[in-house]
Chain A
Amino acid sequence: MQLEARNISFRYGNGPYLFRGVNVTVEQGEIVGLTAPSGRGKTTLCRILAGFEKPLEGSVTIDGIPVSSKGFHPVQLVLQHPEKAVNPRWKMEKVLSEGGKPDSELLSLLGIEKEWLTRWPNELSGGELQRFCVVRALNTNTRFLIADEMTTMLDAITQAQIWHAVLEVAKARGMGIIIVSHEEMLIQRLCDRVIELK
Chain B
Amino acid sequence: MIPNLKTDQKLKRFYMNRRQKTLLTIVVAAIILLCVVVGGALLDQDQIATNLTERNLAPSLQHLFGTDWLGRDMFNRTIMGLSLSMGVGLIGAIGSTSIALILGMAAATMGKMADRLISWLIDLFLSVPHLVTLILIAFTLGGGFKGIVIGLAVTHWPSLARVIRAEVMQIRSAEYVQISRQMGKSRWWIATHHIFPHLIPQLLIGFMLMFPHVILHEAAVTFLGLGLSPHEPAIGIILSESMKYLSSGMWWLAFFPGLCLLMIVRMFETVGGNLRLLIDPVRANEK
Given contacts A84-B175, A85-B175, A85-B176, contact A77 B194 (CB under 8 A): no
Q: Are A73 and B178 in contact (CB under 8 A)?
A: no
Of all chain A residues, which has the CB nearest B189? A98
Q: Are A98 and B185 in contact (CB under 8 A)?
A: yes
The docked-state distance in angstroms from the alpha carbon of A85 to that of B182 is: 12
The docked-state distance in angstroms from the alpha carbon of A136 to that of B179 is: 10
Q: Which residues of A contact B179 (CB under 8 A)?
A: 77, 79, 85, 136
Q: Are B180 and A98 in contact (CB under 8 A)?
A: yes
In this assembly, does A66 line the interface, its C-beta being within 8 Å of a C-beta of chain B? no
In this assembly, does B198 line the interface, its C-beta being within 8 Å of a C-beta of chain A? yes
User: Chain B 165-205 against A: per-residue CB contact (8 Å), 1 yes, 0 no?
Assistant: 00000000011101110111100000000100110000000
Given contacts A84-B175, A84-B176, contact A98 B182 (CB under 8 A): no
Of all chain B residues, which has the CB nearest A50? B182
Q: Are A84 and B182 in contact (CB under 8 A)?
A: no
Q: Are B197 and A89 in contact (CB under 8 A)?
A: yes
The docked-state distance in angstroms from the alpha carbon of A86 to that of B178 is: 10
The docked-state distance in angstroms from the alpha carbon of A51 to that of B175 is: 13
- Number of B residues near A (Cβ < 8 Å) is 13
Given contacts A87-B194, A89-B197, A89-B198, contact A79 B184 (CB under 8 A): no
Given contacts A81-B175, A84-B174, A85-B175, contact A51 B184 (CB under 8 A): no
Given contacts A87-B194, A89-B197, A89-B198, contact A73 B183 (CB under 8 A): yes
In this assembly, does A52 line the interface, its C-beta being within 8 Å of a C-beta of chain B? yes
The docked-state distance in angstroms from the alpha carbon of A81 to that of B175 is: 9
The docked-state distance in angstroms from the alpha carbon of A45 to that of B178 is: 16
Q: Which residues of B contact A16 (CB under 8 A)?
A: none
Closest chain B CB from A138 CB (angstroms): 12
The docked-state distance in angstroms from the alpha carbon of A51 to that of B184 is: 11
Of all chain B residues, which has the CB nearest A98? B183
Main secondary structure of the interface of A (DSSP, over half): loop
A62-99 residues with Cβ-Cβ distance < 8 A to B are: 70-73, 76-77, 79, 81, 84-87, 89, 98-99
Q: Which residues of A contact B194 (CB under 8 A)?
A: 87
B132-187 residues with Cβ-Cβ distance < 8 A to A are: 174-176, 178-180, 182-185
Closest chain B CB from A162 CB (angstroms): 18
Given contacts A87-B194, A89-B197, contact A51 B176 (CB under 8 A): no
Q: Which residues of B contact A139 (CB under 8 A)?
A: 183
B180, B182, B197, B198: the one within 8 Å of A51 (CB): B182
The docked-state distance in angstroms from the alpha carbon of A125 to that of B190 is: 26
Closest chain A CB from B282 CB (angstroms): 16
The docked-state distance in angstroms from the alpha carbon of A72 to that of B180 is: 9
Given contacts A89-B197, A89-B198, contact A52 B182 (CB under 8 A): yes
Q: Which residues of B contact A87 (CB under 8 A)?
A: 174, 176, 194
The docked-state distance in angstroms from the alpha carbon of A71 to that of B182 is: 8
User: Chain A 146-162 against B: per-residue CB contact (8 Å), 1 yes, 0 no?
Assistant: 00000000000000000
Q: Are A72 and B183 in contact (CB under 8 A)?
A: yes
Q: Which residues of B contact A72 (CB under 8 A)?
A: 182-184
Q: Which residues of B contact A99 (CB under 8 A)?
A: 183-184
Of all chain A residues, which has the CB nearest B198? A89
Of all chain B residues, which has the CB nearest A79? B175
Q: Are A70 and B174 in contact (CB under 8 A)?
A: no
Of all chain B residues, which has the CB nearest A69? B181
B174, B175, B184: the one within 8 Å of A73 (CB): B184
Q: Which residues of B contact A77 (CB under 8 A)?
A: 179, 182
B178, B184, B197, B198: the one within 8 Å of A52 (CB): B178
Residues of B within 8 A of A (CB): 174-176, 178-180, 182-185, 194, 197-198
Residues of A within 8 A of B (CB): 50-52, 70-73, 76-77, 79, 81, 84-87, 89, 98-99, 136, 139
18 A/B residue pairs, CB under 8 Å, sorted by A: A52-B178, A72-B182, A72-B183, A72-B184, A73-B184, A76-B182, A77-B182, A79-B179, A84-B176, A85-B179, A87-B174, A87-B176, A87-B194, A98-B180, A98-B183, A99-B183, A99-B184, A139-B183
| Contacts A84-B175, A98-B183 known; 7 new A-B pairs at CB < 8 A | A71-B184, A79-B179, A84-B176, A85-B175, A86-B176, A87-B174, A136-B179
7 shortest interchain CB distances as A-B pairs: A72-B184, A99-B183, A73-B182, A71-B184, A84-B175, A85-B175, A87-B176
